[in-house]
């Protein structure tokens, strides 16, 4: 049987039969794929450490009669420490949830972005929300929305008071605001800008505090709903 090897992240899973598991992978080479792992829920299963969400590894896949079957996995990182910290765990679930909703075709940039987000959450001491904020900002950037400039995206006027127009996904001035626009506080705008301009490696150096960072997450989550039609899990 022909087999292929892909680098992938486990982004979902369902238990089937007595000991099997059906996994959703986001792979670097083939995008989102469904694969099955046979007998993987057994006590002594060789591949059992590779069946959990967040696992990042090299999966060898064979084309079975009814589905693609994983025959071996080289785990690169299972981000195990995430499960020891409930806040980080939920935020990582948020990242995977966002990925699951937008991933279809192969997308190397999105793949790398996800690994960076999980690594940062797992190994760095970064304040709550910053990693998922950064992840969402990168996704909007990749979609072509550059909404953190200093000019109104509708008329080009220099921005003093800023409104976020959810129907177009950009920032506008008071004169161009519509029913779908909400005012952005200075603290929220600075938070978004700082998060956008800071690499994952340096996110641990930022400590914003205050309402700005809460507003930033709320704006990004709401914008994600407007852009994709999917809501994302509520962070607490």
Note the residues at the interface with Zn ion (CB under 5 A).
152, 154-155, 157, 173, 176
Tell me the closest approach of the beta carbon of residue 141 to Zn ion, in angstroms: 22
Separation between Cα atoms, residue 69 and residue 201, nearest integer Å:
36
Q: Which is nearer to Zn ion, 103 or 171 (CB)?
A: 171
Rg of the chain, C-alpha, whole Å: 20
Tell me the closest approach of the beta carbon of residue 180 to Zn ion, in angstroms: 14
- Give the other-Cβ count within 10 Å of 216's Cβ: 28
CA angle 42, 46, 47 (to 5 degrees): 90
Q: Which is nearer to Zn ion, 75 or 157 (CB)?
A: 157
Q: Which is nearer to Zn ion, 76 or 155 (CB)?
A: 155
Q: Which is nearer to Zn ion, 131 or 176 (CB)?
A: 176
- CA separation, residue 209 to residues 5, 13, 127, 129, 199 (Å): 44, 36, 9, 11, 19
* Torsion region of 234: left, alpha or beta (phi above 0 gives left; psi -120 to 50 gives alpha): beta
Tell me the closest approach of the beta carbon of residue 169 to Zn ion, in angstroms: 15
Q: Which is nearer to Zn ion, 147 or 224 (CB)?
A: 147
Phi, psi of 37 (to 5 degrees): -120, 120
- Pick from 21, 197, 12, 215: which is nearest to 99 by CA? 12
Tell me the closest approach of the beta carbon of residue 173 to Zn ion, in angstroms: 4
Tell me the closest approach of the beta carbon of residue 154 to Zn ion, in angstroms: 4
């Amino acid at each position: 049987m022909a087999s292929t090897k892909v680098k992938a992240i486990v982004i979902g899973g369902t238990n089937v039969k007595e000991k099997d598991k059906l996994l959703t992978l986001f792979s670097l080479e083939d995008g989102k794929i469904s694969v099955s792992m046979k007998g993987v829920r057994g006590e002594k299963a060789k591949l059992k450490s590779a069946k959990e969400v967040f696992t990042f590894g090299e999966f060898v896949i064979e084309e079975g009669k009814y589905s693609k079957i994983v025959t071996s996995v080289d785990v690169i990182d299972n981000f195990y420490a995430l499960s020891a910290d409930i806040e980080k765990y939920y935020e990582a679930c948020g990242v995977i949830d966002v990925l699951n909703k937008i991933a279809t075709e192969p997308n190397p940039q999105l793949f790398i972005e996800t690994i960076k987000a999980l690594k940062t959450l797992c190994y760095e001491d970064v304040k709550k929300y910053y990693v998922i904020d950064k992840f969402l900002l990168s996704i909007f950037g990749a979609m072509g929305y550059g909404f953190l400039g200093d000019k109104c995206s509708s008329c080009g006027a220099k921005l003093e008071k800023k409104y976020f127009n959810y129907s177009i996904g950009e920032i506008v001035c008071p004169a161009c605001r519509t029913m779908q626009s909400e005012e952005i506080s200075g603290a929220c705008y600075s938070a978004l800008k700082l998060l956008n301009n800071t690499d994952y490696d340096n996110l641990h150096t930022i400590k914003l505090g205050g309402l700005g960072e809460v507003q930033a997450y709320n704006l990004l989550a709401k914008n994600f709903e407007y852009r994709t039609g999917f809501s994302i899990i509520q962070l607490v």
